[in-house]
Structure 1
Amino acid sequence: MASGGGYGDASQKIDYVFKVVLIGDSAVGKSQILARFARNEFSLDSKATIGVEFQTRTLVIQHKSVKAQIWDTAGQERYRAVTSAYYRGAVGALLVYDITKRQTFDHIPRWLEELRAHADKNIVIMLIGNKTDLEDQRAVPTEDAKEFAQKEGLFFLETSAMEATNIEDAFLTVLTEIFNIVNKKNLAAGDDQANGNPASLTGKKILVPGPAQVIPEKKACCSS
């Protein structure tokens, strides 16, 4: 089982470095999700992200030290030129929409298409419906998103960066899935690289046995 590490990078040996990208429309809360996960912070007056930035956080997954390198980009069209470099080497992705803005959910298929065009085809993807703290303004039913996630073979969770709901779970689910895939691959190849240098997955093909499983319904939504 995965367990969260501290918020500062410890000086321990790093066994794995996993690059995870955040994508989705502007103002859906990508930067807030990142700030909550990396630094346990939330700011109401967050400014729009310009270009690309990333944060890291080191966690322990099954007794191994995993450094998550989380990349965040502007959702606006004019920054879309960064795509291929942004996706290069990414082994996980959080595809984020705002549950109070239907348009941000309607754009998800386009983001998914872009992700699949630029990223490794075996990337672990989680669909995130953010801002559950604004339940009274909900415009995207949980069922719609769950159905889409099942159809596309994505993990799915609803989150609130403001209330810190399911943020940790979302990242840990994605990182643990990547970790399991990499370990299966190492075992299959008799590859004991995992015990040597920090393994970066850049440029490596990851073999995923079938599509990612969708999270069981009881975890899928945080509304009571």
Structure 2
Amino acid sequence: MASGGYGDPSQKIDYVFKLVLIGDSGVGKSQILSRYARNEFSMDSKATIGVEFQTRTLVMDHKSVKAQIWDTAGQERYRAVTSAYYRGAVGAMLVYDVTRRQTFDHIPRWLEELRGHADKNIVIILIGNKSDLEDQRAISMEDAKEFAEKEGLFFLETSALNAVNVETAFSTVLTEIFNIVNKKNLVAGEGQGNGDAASLAGKKINIVPGPAQVIPTKNRLCCNS
């Protein structure tokens, strides 16, 4: 359904989807973003100060979709950025480090903040990053899956270093958002993708409540650049 690629700046954009990365400092949010947006990884990455964002354009079902991904510092002293940071976001990546128990223990707090500031129907994926450090693992995949199921989140473990599941994580969220928006347009009889470039801010995304969708599977969607 989706094809990768890093976008032709001259092409018409049908949709812009804002995604936010949240989680404690040092869990690899910036590295996940760098791997997805530019297919890069830096061993000497500095802590993010304030807010940064990257974009990547994909084709999904013959529509051009620009993912605008925001990355903020995880340190407490930058928390004042919250309301503006979450405004208009239709997807969120909730990231912890599989080798640091504290970063997973803080996930409920991050989730509470996200749900307090973002649209209640935002599409959320829980991401356990640094899966390449298996010998240092502090959180089992089963514990994380159980939490994701309880909270109704998508879930994947990733390695930004080895480029494992980073593409799939973003594709999972973007595809879910795209499908919701397409269904909304069909129900409204709008048909011709009226998400013309501006943003989905202000558009109501209605997700039918149901069992959690935990996505470690390969047949959901994958687009390798």
Aligned length: 219
**CA contact 1:7–1:40 (8 Å) conserved in 2:** no
Structure 1, residues 7-36: CA drift from partner, whole Å, max 9, x if none? 244321101000000000000000000000
Structure 2 residue aligned with 1:14 = 13
Structure 2 residue aligned with 1:3 = 3
**CA contact 2:94–2:124 (8 Å) conserved in 1:** yes
Structure 1, residues 116-139: CA drift from partner, whole Å, max 9, x if none? 000000000000000011110000
Structure 2 residue aligned with 1:130 = 129
Q: What CA distance in whole angstroms lies between the structure 2 residues aligned with 1:155 and 1:71?
A: 19
**CA contact 1:193–1:199 (8 Å) conserved in 2:** no
Structure 1, residues 172-196: CA drift from partner, whole Å, max 9, x if none? 0000000000011111111245157
Q: Deviation of residue 215 (structure 1)?
A: 3.0
**CA contact 1:9–1:57 (8 Å) conserved in 2:** no
Structure 1 residue aligned with 2:25 = 26
- SS of the aligned residue for 1:177 comes to helix
Q: Deviation of residue 198 (structure 1)?
A: 2.3
**CA contact 2:14–2:64 (8 Å) conserved in 1:** yes
The CA RMSD measured in Å over matched residues stands at 1.6
Say whether 1:82 aligns with 2:74. no
Q: What CA distance in whole angstroms lies between the structure 1 residues aligned with 2:22 and 2:8?
A: 24
Q: Deviation of residue 211 (structure 1)?
A: 4.6
AA aligned to 1:122 is N
Say whether 1:169 aligns with 2:171. no
Q: What CA distance in whole angstroms lies between the structure 2 residues aligned with 1:106 and 1:11?
A: 44
Q: Deviation of residue 74 (structure 1)?
A: 0.1
AA aligned to 2:2 is A
Structure 2 residue aligned with 1:108 = 107
- SS of the aligned residue for 1:200 comes to coil
Q: Which runs of 5+ in 1 are unaligned?
A: none
Q: What CA distance in whole angstroms lies between the structure 2 residues aligned with 1:160 and 1:126?
A: 15
AA aligned to 2:74 is G
Structure 1, residues 36-63: CA drift from partner, whole Å, max 9, x if none? 0000000010000000010000001111
**CA contact 1:181–1:208 (8 Å) conserved in 2:** yes
**CA contact 2:149–2:211 (8 Å) conserved in 1:** no
TM-score normalized by the length of structure 2: 0.93
Identity %: 80
Q: Deviation of residue 109 (structure 1)?
A: 0.2
Q: Which moved more, 1:197-206 or 1:96-105?
A: 197-206
**CA contact 1:95–1:126 (8 Å) conserved in 2:** yes
**CA contact 2:17–2:68 (8 Å) conserved in 1:** yes
Structure 2 residue aligned with 1:54 = 53
- SS of the aligned residue for 1:59 comes to strand
AA aligned to 1:15 is D
Structure 1, residues 64-93: CA drift from partner, whole Å, max 9, x if none? 110000000000000000000000000000
Tell me which protein shows more helix as a share of its residues: 1
Structure 1 199/51 Cα, relative in aligned 2: closer, same or farther at 3 Å?
closer
**CA contact 1:24–1:30 (8 Å) conserved in 2:** yes
Q: What CA distance in whole angstroms lies between the structure 2 residues aligned with 1:142 and 1:86?
A: 29
Q: What CA distance in whole angstroms lies between the structure 2 residues aligned with 1:8 and 1:66?
A: 9
Q: What CA distance in whole angstroms lies between the structure 2 residues aligned with 1:194 and 1:53?
A: 28
